Structure 1
Amino acid sequence: MKVLYMLGFLPPYVNREIDALSAAGVDVSVVLPEKSKGNRPADFWSEISPNPASGSVEVQRVLKFKYLTSPARYLVLPLLRALRFTKALIRSLKEKEFRYFIVASDAVLRMNPSGRPDIIHAHFALDSAHVARIAAYILNVPYTVTTHATDIFVPKSVNRLRRVLSSAAAVFTISRYNIDFLVNYGLSREDMVVVRLGLNISELPEKKQPPQKNLAVCVASGLVPKKGIPVLMEAAAILNRRSAGCKLKVIGSDADGTRLKEYRNKDYEFPVEFPGALSSEETLDAVSNAELFVLPCVQAENGDRDGIPVALMEAMGMGVPCISTRISGIPELIQSGVNGVLVNPDSAEELADAIEKMLADSESASRMGLEGRKKITVSHSPEKQVHILFSTFSRILTERKQN
């Protein structure tokens, strides 16, 4: 079986998935955007995410996403080269996806001809998935897509999202909550499969013993509204008035540092540190040294929300006691009172109560930390999730052959 991953970027959890598939004997190749000179998210991820560990995984940077926004005159030559794909061109014009066709056809022509896939897979129902859909049509192979959070909660185009999902041979998603949500787009539950993000706890540092007293760490990627940082600051103020002695470290930064600067310039009556964006190693080390991890996720005004945050999974995988909120797929990860604590989103009072109680009862917190580690080990191993992927890929290809 040859599987082609068509990706806009390569985050660590997708990297682990690819390596696990390759280790299972699947012939995997990866197509990524070409390097650009701008400060693009793809370039950021390429700097912090290594290529798949398996030497058998071929990585080609042939996706020219610049065609999605470049002036029309730059599309003439790629269009002339793509005229051989007449049916795909006509379809893309009807669907108003001409620029995606240009990117897809150019990538197909530049890919290694010996690496023709049996199936194409994309992560996130974003640009790479739309390109994957057209590339699959050109190559006459099925495609699948894994949906996550922002890509389905705040799509750029609802019609385009419906199209890329309804045309897929299968839609994978990271939670049962997402399946319930995607039914609203007309998808059948039978066509969707839950595949959790995989995590190797052997790659995580061990929880420090003893941890730094009263230190609560929050990892808030991008410092975006859905991470609930204002709620956390309000909860910290409540704890300060109670003389609870909680110290906060909030790791993360937006791309240009505007939000980070705003948070740093505020006057706080309680101890809080905003170190900005740290490397993966530095972040994990900070979390492993914390007495507890807190991520008070909320639903942003535009409807965006987290799926199941990787930072939360990593903290649980290290055995650090965790506090989060009852939103989206998080209750599928944390059973409140068993392997962590959940509070209602946007409730600073509940959050303060949970932090205070966890800091005061180290024995209960430690027990929940151990149960959290067990949850990640049992439910989120890359091998277990890849088995689901492989089984679904095999079913799709078998049915295609029979039909």
Structure 2
Amino acid sequence: MRKTVIVLKGYPRLSETFIAQEILGLERAGFDLVLVALRHPTDKKRHPVNDEIKAPVFYLPEYLHEEPVRVFKAVFSNLTKPGLWRAAATFLRDLGKDFTRNRVRRFGQAAVLCAEWPKDAGWIHSHFIHTPASVASYASQMLSIGWSCSAHAKDIWTSADWELVQKLQASAWTVTCTRSGFVHLKQLAAGKGQVHLSYHGLDLDRFSRFEADRPARDGSNPDDPVRIVSVGRAVEKKGYDILLTALSRLPASLHWRFTHIGGGEKLPELRALASSLGLADRIEWRGALDQTEVLAEYQRSDLFALACRITADGDRDGLPNVIVEASSQRLATVSTEISGIPELITHNETGLLCPPEDPDAFAALIGTAITGPELRHRLGDAVEARVRSQFDHHSSIAQLKQLFIEAWGKQR
């Protein structure tokens, strides 16, 4: 296998278990990997999967002015490389369309990557088609080697079309994890770039079958309330304000408890909203947890809820990996019909969906699920079967392996 550098925005990150799982899957498939991150980790915890990854990790300067000597040496050492001037020409054209410090930072980080290039590495793969792909694209030109990309959600929908087109055409191939993202990128590529649909999938050995029978809670017993869980960062696109508002509109006669898992900038705001809605005594805020702790929470719960939305700047989820994880544990889901969610959740077949930004509709679905243990069990069984038949990560790893091998063959 050709040694491959994987460029990441940050590593490790609790919110990106799908990336860590893919890296581990590639290693187990025989890939020799080096991880290069644009940012140091900020999470206090890490998932067990990160500890199983053997690839070395290197960090580029997050801000160029913080490591000026390193950046200057990198640029100076690259001056004799013909590729530097090709990359510089591309960078200057990009800077004319995006005159920002961020653009300069990506070129400087690419220069450092090339100057400190891992021995014998011969390919670059970026996770996310926005900033990591900018670094990968510039470095590819500087080094005159090929690169590929995995595009996900925010990076697709908040990037300018001109930049997406340029990267799709420059990379050997791009994969994305939802059909909506695939259709959008395919249209932009217009036949001049390879775009493939590749669901992340789960390591179903790690998320083995949950064999226990869940209690038939129906919200009538104050001493045994229905347990609702949600996992996700407290950011706008997750729609937690909608979820909390929906919970506040449930009949007072229904007994439930809600657990939120995750960090995020809006946590104080959401806690304040929960208090103002009179929900504080029914909610547990667990903060960021590792994958083992999250799995245990799925198994203790009766219902998963996530009110995803599209924000004003176009940001949105793809198919949230946490929905796939919860589904693998026979946990019924209430969510919204945006992006890739309907690719797993079919309304009233494998879960319950409503339009985004509609707390009344969301409350109606949660209420139906709370009072219907038989419905939850039917939906949970159906969605688990779909996950285990269509979202096994071995399929996605095999697809990626084939794409890498074909691209490498063309580069010889």
- Scaled to the shorter chain, the TM-score interval is 0.7 to 0.9
Instruction: Name the CA shift for 1:356/1:289 in 2 (closer, same or farther; >3 Å).
Output: same
TM-score normalised by structure 1 residue count: 0.86
Matched, 1:359 2:364: no
Which moved further from structure 2: 191-200 or 25-34?
Answer: 25-34
Amino acid at match of 1:140: S
Per-residue CA deviation, residues 289-340 of structure 1 (Å, 9 max, x unaligned), is 1111111112122222111111111110111111111111110011222221
Residue 94 of structure 2 is matched in structure 1 by: 95
SS for the counterpart of 1:58 is: coil
Deviation of 1:187 after TM superposition, in Å, equals 4.5
Residue 164 of structure 1 is matched in structure 2 by: 167
Matched, 1:83 2:79: yes
Per-residue CA deviation, residues 87-120 of structure 1 (Å, 9 max, x unaligned), is 424323343355423211222222332x322x21
Structure-to-structure mapping, 1:185-196, within 5 angstroms: 185-188=188-191, 191-196=194-199
Aligned length, in residue pairs? 387
Deviation of 1:208 after TM superposition, in Å, equals 6.0
Deviation of 1:46 after TM superposition, in Å, equals 8.1
CA distance in 2, matches of 1:344, 1:256: 23
Amino acid at match of 2:375: S
Matched, 1:381 2:392: yes
Contact 1:207 1:289 in 2 (8 A): no
CA distance in 2, matches of 1:34, 1:293: 31
Contact 1:173 1:195 in 2 (8 A): yes
Deviation of 1:261 after TM superposition, in Å, equals 4.4
SS for the counterpart of 2:56 is: strand
Residue 204 of structure 2 is matched in structure 1 by: 201
CA distance in 2, matches of 1:260, 1:235: 13
Which moved further from structure 2: 73-82 or 310-319?
Answer: 73-82
Residue 125 of structure 1 is matched in structure 2 by: 129
Instruction: Name the CA shift for 1:235/1:102 in 2 (closer, same or farther; >3 Å).
Output: closer
SS for the counterpart of 1:398 is: helix
Residue 100 of structure 2 is matched in structure 1 by: none
Deviation of 1:53 after TM superposition, in Å, equals 2.1
Matched, 1:134 2:134: no
Which of these residues, 314, 318, 334, is aligned with residue 323 of structure 1? 334
Amino acid at match of 1:61: F
Matched, 1:60 2:66: no
TM-score normalised by structure 2 residue count: 0.84
Matched, 1:215 2:256: no
Instruction: Name the CA shift for 1:203/1:71 in 2 (closer, same or farther; >3 Å).
Output: closer
Residue 31 of structure 1 is matched in structure 2 by: 36
SS for the counterpart of 2:272 is: helix
CA distance in 2, matches of 1:284, 1:310: 13
CA distance in 1, matches of 2:241, 2:275: 14
Which of these residues, 284, 302, 307, is aligned with residue 296 of structure 1? 307
CA distance in 2, matches of 1:335, 1:246: 25
Amino acid at match of 1:101: F
Per-residue CA deviation, residues 261-312 of structure 1 (Å, 9 max, x unaligned), is 4335434158531415231233332232111111111212222211111111
Residue 156 of structure 2 is matched in structure 1 by: 152
CA distance in 1, matches of 2:24, 2:350: 29
Amino acid at match of 2:5: L
CA distance in 1, matches of 2:81, 2:193: 32
Residue 39 of structure 1 is matched in structure 2 by: none
Identity %: 22
Amino acid at match of 1:239: L
SS for the counterpart of 1:386 is: helix
Contact 2:38 2:60 in 1 (8 A): yes
Deviation of 1:198 after TM superposition, in Å, equals 2.4
Amino acid at match of 1:32: A
Residue 19 of structure 1 is matched in structure 2 by: 24
Which of these residues, 370, 389, 393, is aligned with residue 404 of structure 2? 393
Amino acid at match of 2:156: I
Contact 1:298 1:327 in 2 (8 A): yes
Consecutive unaligned residues of structure 1, counting only runs of 5 or more, are 36-41
Per-residue CA deviation, residues 45-65 of structure 1 (Å, 9 max, x unaligned), is 8855764625xx431314223
SS for the counterpart of 2:9 is: coil
Contact 1:172 1:192 in 2 (8 A): yes
Residue 174 of structure 1 is matched in structure 2 by: 177
Instruction: Name the CA shift for 1:25/1:47 in 2 (closer, same or farther; >3 Å).
Output: closer
Instruction: Name the CA shift for 1:255/1:347 in 2 (closer, same or farther; >3 Å).
Output: closer
The root-mean-square deviation of aligned C-alpha atoms, in Å, is: 2.8
Residue 38 of structure 1 is matched in structure 2 by: none
SS for the counterpart of 1:250 is: strand
Contact 1:62 1:111 in 2 (8 A): no
